[in-house]
Structure 1
Amino acid sequence: MNQISLARRLAGALLLIAPLAGHAARQIELDSPDRQLRVTIGTGDHLSFAVSHRGTDLVLPTPIGITLAGIGSLGDKPRLAGQQRRSVDTVLRPVVAQKSREVRDHYNALQLDFAGGYALEVRAYDEGIAYRFRTSLPGQVTVEDELAGVNLRPQDTLYWPQEKSMQSHNEHYYQALTVGDAAGKLVGVPALVQNGGVHLVFTESGLRDYPGLYLHGEPAGLRAIFPKVALAETARDDRNVPVTQEAAYIAHTDGNRTFPWRILGIAADAGGLLLNQMPYLLAEPQELKETGWIKPGKVAWDWYNGNKLYGVPFKSGLDTRTYRHYIDFAADNGLEYIIMDEGWYKLGDLLAVKPEIDMPGLMAYARQRGVGIILWVSWKTLDTQMTAALDQFARWGAAGIKVDFMQRSDQWMVNYYERVAREAAQRRLLVDFHGSFKPSGLQRTWPNVLTFEGVKGLENNKWSDKQTPEHDVTLPFIRMFAGPLDYTPGAMSNAHRKDFAASFDRPMSQGTRAHQLAMYMIYESPLQMLADSPSQYRANPSSLEFIRQVPVEWDESRVLHAQLGRYVAMARRRGDTWYVGAMTGADGRDLELDLSFLGDGNYQVDSMEDGPNAGVFATDVQKGSASVTRSSRLAMQLAPGGGWAAIIRKTK
């Protein structure tokens, strides 16, 4: 199951790394609008692409193609029938403003039409290169495999999440190895390659009716591999349903279609990756017509602390009284939602609410207090009860669903994600995918999908000591490139590595309190969690007061400082107010905050900073304030594993 035969590995490796016989044949070039990037399409014995940046090779000639049963390899001995070029420069206005209220879509495009009913579409942005195949074949086709990947230098540095199987939650830490050292290993996506000072992120978008992409390490490159069509599966319980038999092909699909975009985000400075919106731009266009009901927001989350409260006049647990308390906490602090995570229904039956919970009463109370309730569900149970369950949730007045434990990305499962999004949208329900693969464009097509997990997030502190500040400052450059990430920040119990202890019921985070607060400006999630318990937040009123003021959508984003795996600082604007967050890894550091991004006039800075003893006591956080203008400079002093967070408001 999900094993790659030795023969296939060797054949793929030889094709990926062998010099292309048609290299001397016709080559067709496409430059980015700023002429810094060039993609070269080879049309010799086999279709290929290569990428250069300012004249330096980044991706060496790499064969690409799609193999269809009964037809053969599209890309083998291609016969060019025509080509079209165009330039586009327009502006999109997303329903949900993850990075910015407006997104510039500026690229040069090339379409190569080939005999045999297929075409290759290529786009060159200033921020990267992308390509996809298009077929115009009658009826259905069976895709046996797709040839994709990147030929690189063995000495290039690869930041990657190693996978054991393509049946995965896609939650791993990033390793930094050479490309050559990754040979023979399964690589998760997105993955980042450093070539000299240039950063390249490989991912996909426009994923529909097709399996999600993984990479396999080769001696001098990365080759795409895909989960095959599932023929049989075994349900171990309500969530673990591993595939036990696979077909010999990866998809059976419409012959007249476009295939997913293969994306290479490219930045000379790592900070450029933080503003790159290619995955959104290359997603399939929005299908949901009415979107006024979609409301991003912050969420009080129960599961991180296991519904455990203190300082309340009742025994907390999975019951109505505890959830009324969560509703009150959300309402009192301007939070839009609470999540009722696992435990509210009898596992295996979404219609069987546990007797300790008065669901209609809770929904009515939440509605009265202006708070929405998002309901956790196991994916398999939802699959078997989708219509009945979603109809019931809508009758109750639920705001959305959190779908968990899919841990697959074969064609059927990719279609399941879209089915959930569509069915939820028909009932005006938001969606949060957990136990998921990386975002691949669905959030544009169905904007009621607000966020995805697919990230090694805060919850891992409950059972592991590997959730380090270094990991926290790696995620924005790689995982966040693909789309929103439900990291679930907001830990109020904080410790440095030497004092840290994993605890399932009373978890703590590594790094300082200010490090956690800065995540609300750094990590993009239009459904942003407050992971800790209401009791913990009430015991830390200054931190709560700061978090409750931070929005989840942004009119504008700017990178202030960025170095992969070491530190990151960003400024986000909402209206006339700016929000600044800075995080560092293991090393403490001083960063200068250049306020030239502000408009004219006077501003007030209210900050939450590492306290003077934060290097020892990670919970040490202090408030700061300053009157500034756009010509001002401020010092951000970050302790090891530290952070800095501020709200900057215009004054009269």
Structure 2
Amino acid sequence: MLIKNYTSSLLLFVLFSLLTINLAAKDYTVSSPNGKILTTVNTDDEIHWSASVDGQPIFKNCKMNLTIDGEVLGESVKVRKIKRSSISEQVKVIVPVKSKIIKDEYNQLSIQFKNDFSVVFRVFDNGITYRFETSKKGEIIINNETVDLNFSDNYPILFPEEQSLLSHYERLYIDEKLSALNAGRFCSLPTLVKATQNIKIGITEADLFDYPGLFLEATGSTSLKSKFPYVIFESKSKGDRDVEIIKQADYIAKTNGSRTFPWRVFMISEEDKQLVENQLVYLLSRDCQLENTSWIKPGLVAWDWWNDNNIYGVDFKSGLDNQTYKYYIDFASRYGIPYIILDEGWSKTTTNVLEPNPNIDIDELVQYGKERNVELILWSLWGPVNKHMDDILDQFAKWGIKGLKVDFMAQAGQEMVNFYERTAQACADRELLVDFHGAYKPAGLRRAYPNVINYEGVKGLENCKWSDVITPEHNVTLPFTRMLAGPMDYTPGAMRNAQHKDFKISHSNPMSMGTRCHQLAMYVVYDAPLQMLSDNPSNYYREEESIRFLSKMKTVWDDTKILDAKVGDYIVTARKSGNDWYIGAMTDADSRTLEIDLSFLDEGDYELEIMQDGINADKAAIDYTYMTKTADKNTKIIIPMASGGGWAAICKKK
């Protein structure tokens, strides 16, 4: 009896001791639904987090805090409450860039602290995310947010280095080890870290509202740290589109004290193709703010600026005038293209977009387009829109314009982030689409305002007009980097194609590097609900087979599957629209042959229209072969690609 009582007492003591030790450790864990990703949050005085994939550490002891009105939320912390939850549901997408339905499944850990703030971690099967939440009264000043990222080893990173926080976010991706980046060098987002065991970590943010965009700064070690633009007090114009900061605050935001903050997003993949399928930015962003979205119509758009209105085979002098734009409208109408853009030059001046230039009659062009089922989108610098938003948008609506391409913002501070939302809402009020150029990456606005139909923020085809940096390798890097954040207005469609040795820079008669089929495949591989046809109609008329093929392309999709991929080397993408599938493949400078099976097809036979690199495409990049064949889900397809090559197919259900 005495022995029994002693054993019971000892057991109670051990259990109490273990409980006490566990509380003292102040470690809280949350794993992904499939159990592969484990995140540990430590609240011993400060807040740190670590993470592993299949037991392989990738992040270690990452510090996070938020400084509000001089008080650091994240130091000397006291936990008040822990809440755990699990969600598994489906989200319907209004403008389906990758798919109509996205599975939203995660485990969540919410830690509430004294001083009226919380941190929330969500762990998905394909990523780790966290954010701060505050419940303070009135307005608050955000002095800084600490986002320290300590990696478990000296991993390589694809680093879109910036020279200034006043940037168009059009960068090449430097492939370096973390420690090789000297302290102070910094990048915009997204960026991609290549960890061990083929684990890739795509880093970006989501649900960015009333707050500055995040940049990451190198430390000369295996760590990165956050960098934010400050609130601007005073600036002056430099020309019609650039600004110089005269005076700025010593804080990054002034905002409501009761709010959620942007999600810090870490996309995790063990296969490169999983990266491109990731849709966390959309899932983590606020729900649609618009009651009616039925008027939002994605589609192809014929574009004038890249080709410099350099049309030929006509009986009039081309230029910024009605005759030229009617030629674009006629082209768009012939091939069922729903939009044309009138870019810089259509207005009286770049600072006065309330009046067309004397050679353009907008009313006449709008009517001419309507008779041919083609709508107009107008370009503007952001400055005039910011100063005279209602007047300009009211005039656009009065003319019957369907969209605004707004350009040269080149900032990501709180004020500019708010300009994006204000523009999106004001355009939605008038049923206008928005295409942001000179823009930071997508960060959640397109879910809240689905009329925001595309973003630039990418080093795209326009650069071929003045440089030779848009290589096939760059093109097959973009789906794993910039496109992780959302759709990108790369502006494909070049009909003058050249291998590297033959490439020439030309502003008025530009060409692309890589093959014709490399360009065609972009219409499947690249996310872009408003997708450009960047070359001029005269070139498309001359290339009847190519434009007939492109005119059948969709810009939104019921489903997306990445069939095969390797970062910076190649990608094969399949997209579904209705009963049909579209396949696009792209490679870097290395020629390669891939084999794919068509098991993703539905039952039944399909007729395949195929555009593939011609036998001489390694020398003459314009060389291609058009063919048709019948296939079903049991068929295997060989995809031969030349250097800088591509392959595209439309699979029509019989």
After superposition, the Cα gap between the structure-2 partners of 1:585 and 1:257, relative to the gap in structure 1 and judged at 3 Å, is same
Kept in 2: contact 1:23–1:42 (CA 8 A): no
Matched, 1:224 2:226: yes
1:125 matched residue in structure 2: 124
- Using the TM superposition, give the Cα deviation of residue 183 of structure 1 relative to its aligned residue in structure 2, in angstroms: 3.1
Q: Counterparts of 2:518 and 2:639 in 1: how far apart (Å)?
A: 12
SS in 1 for 2:394: helix
Choose which of 230, 240, 251 in structure 2 pairs with 1:238: 240
1:59 matched residue in structure 2: 59
- Using the TM superposition, give the Cα deviation of residue 25 of structure 1 relative to its aligned residue in structure 2, in angstroms: 3.2
- Using the TM superposition, give the Cα deviation of residue 428 of structure 1 relative to its aligned residue in structure 2, in angstroms: 0.4
Matched, 1:384 2:383: no
SS in 1 for 2:650: strand
- Using the TM superposition, give the Cα deviation of residue 237 of structure 1 relative to its aligned residue in structure 2, in angstroms: 2.3
1:19 matched residue in structure 2: none
User: Which stretches in structure 2 are left out of the alignment for 5+ residues?
Assistant: 1-21
Which residue identity does 2:281 align to in structure 1? Answer: P
Kept in 1: contact 2:58–2:153 (CA 8 A): no
SS in 2 for 1:622: strand
1:291 matched residue in structure 2: 293
Which residue identity does 1:255 align to in structure 2? Answer: G
- Deviations along 1:178-221, one digit per CA (max 9) or x if unpaired, are 00012321112101001111000110010000000000001121
SS in 2 for 1:41: strand
Kept in 2: contact 1:33–1:107 (CA 8 A): yes
- Using the TM superposition, give the Cα deviation of residue 86 of structure 1 relative to its aligned residue in structure 2, in angstroms: 0.9
Q: Counterparts of 1:607 and 1:320 in 2: how far apart (Å)?
A: 37
Kept in 2: contact 1:158–1:177 (CA 8 A): yes
Q: How does 1:69-88 map to 2 (within 5 A)?
A: 69-70=69-70, 72-88=71-87
Kept in 2: contact 1:456–1:487 (CA 8 A): yes
Kept in 2: contact 1:205–1:282 (CA 8 A): yes
Q: Counterparts of 1:149 and 1:325 in 2: how far apart (Å)?
A: 54
Q: Counterparts of 1:354 and 1:121 in 2: how far apart (Å)?
A: 53
Kept in 2: contact 1:153–1:179 (CA 8 A): no
1:440 matched residue in structure 2: 443
Could you tell me the TM-score, scaled by structure 2's length? 0.95
- Using the TM superposition, give the Cα deviation of residue 243 of structure 1 relative to its aligned residue in structure 2, in angstroms: 2.1
SS in 1 for 2:160: strand
SS in 2 for 1:234: strand
Choose which of 622, 626, 634 in structure 2 pairs with 1:623: 626
1:214 matched residue in structure 2: 215
Q: How does 1:454-465 map to 2 (within 5 A)?
A: 454-465=457-468
1:148 matched residue in structure 2: 147
Which residue identity does 1:320 align to in structure 2? Answer: N
Matched, 1:488 2:488: no
Could you tell me the TM-score, scaled by structure 1's length? 0.95
2:354 matched residue in structure 1: 351
Q: Counterparts of 1:541 and 1:566 in 2: how far apart (Å)?
A: 30
- Deviations along 1:324-379, one digit per CA (max 9) or x if unpaired, are 11111111111110000000111211112110001111111111211110000000
After superposition, the Cα gap between the structure-2 partners of 1:326 and 1:23, relative to the gap in structure 1 and judged at 3 Å, is farther
1:300 matched residue in structure 2: 302
- Using the TM superposition, give the Cα deviation of residue 238 of structure 1 relative to its aligned residue in structure 2, in angstroms: 2.2
Choose which of 425, 428, 442 in structure 1 pairs with 2:428: 425
Which residue identity does 1:77 align to in structure 2? Answer: S
User: Which stretches in structure 1 are left out of the alignment for 5+ residues?
Assistant: 1-21
- RMSD over equivalenced CA pairs, Å: 1.1
- Using the TM superposition, give the Cα deviation of residue 23 of structure 1 relative to its aligned residue in structure 2, in angstroms: 13
SS in 2 for 1:552: coil
- Using the TM superposition, give the Cα deviation of residue 627 of structure 1 relative to its aligned residue in structure 2, in angstroms: 1.1
2:162 matched residue in structure 1: 163
2:112 matched residue in structure 1: 113
- Deviations along 1:280-307, one digit per CA (max 9) or x if unpaired, are 0011111011000000010000000111
- Using the TM superposition, give the Cα deviation of residue 244 of structure 1 relative to its aligned residue in structure 2, in angstroms: 2.3
SS in 1 for 2:388: helix
1:201 matched residue in structure 2: 202
- Percentage identity across paired residues of the two chains: 44
- Using the TM superposition, give the Cα deviation of residue 149 of structure 1 relative to its aligned residue in structure 2, in angstroms: 3.4
1:568 matched residue in structure 2: 571
Kept in 2: contact 1:400–1:429 (CA 8 A): yes
SS in 2 for 1:382: helix
Q: Counterparts of 1:56 and 1:23 in 2: how far apart (Å)?
A: 26
1:38 matched residue in structure 2: 38
After superposition, the Cα gap between the structure-2 partners of 1:208 and 1:389, relative to the gap in structure 1 and judged at 3 Å, is same
Kept in 2: contact 1:580–1:645 (CA 8 A): yes
- Deviations along 1:60-114, one digit per CA (max 9) or x if unpaired, are 11000100114x1111121100011111111111110100011111111111100
Q: Counterparts of 2:440 and 2:244 in 1: how far apart (Å)?
A: 15
Kept in 2: contact 1:350–1:385 (CA 8 A): no
Matched, 1:593 2:592: no
SS in 2 for 1:124: strand
SS in 1 for 2:237: coil
2:336 matched residue in structure 1: 334
Q: Counterparts of 2:398 and 2:325 in 1: how far apart (Å)?
A: 19
- Using the TM superposition, give the Cα deviation of residue 634 of structure 1 relative to its aligned residue in structure 2, in angstroms: 1.2
Choose which of 277, 281, 290 in structure 2 pairs with 1:275: 277
Which residue identity does 2:288 align to in structure 1? Answer: Q
Matched, 1:403 2:402: no
After superposition, the Cα gap between the structure-2 partners of 1:579 and 1:23, relative to the gap in structure 1 and judged at 3 Å, is farther
Kept in 2: contact 1:190–1:202 (CA 8 A): yes
- Using the TM superposition, give the Cα deviation of residue 381 of structure 1 relative to its aligned residue in structure 2, in angstroms: 1.2
1:11 matched residue in structure 2: none
Segment of structure 1 superposing worse, 597-606 or 146-155: 146-155
Q: Counterparts of 2:152 and 2:86 in 1: how far apart (Å)?
A: 32
- Using the TM superposition, give the Cα deviation of residue 154 of structure 1 relative to its aligned residue in structure 2, in angstroms: 5.3
- Deviations along 1:117-160, one digit per CA (max 9) or x if unpaired, are 00011101001010000000000110000001310145201001
Which residue identity does 1:288 align to in structure 2? Answer: L
Kept in 1: contact 2:402–2:433 (CA 8 A): yes
Matched, 1:497 2:496: no
- Using the TM superposition, give the Cα deviation of residue 24 of structure 1 relative to its aligned residue in structure 2, in angstroms: 8.2
- Using the TM superposition, give the Cα deviation of residue 593 of structure 1 relative to its aligned residue in structure 2, in angstroms: 2.0
Choose which of 599, 602, 607 in structure 2 pairs with 1:604: 607
Which residue identity does 1:200 align to in structure 2? Answer: I
- Using the TM superposition, give the Cα deviation of residue 431 of structure 1 relative to its aligned residue in structure 2, in angstroms: 0.0
2:26 matched residue in structure 1: 26
Kept in 2: contact 1:86–1:109 (CA 8 A): yes
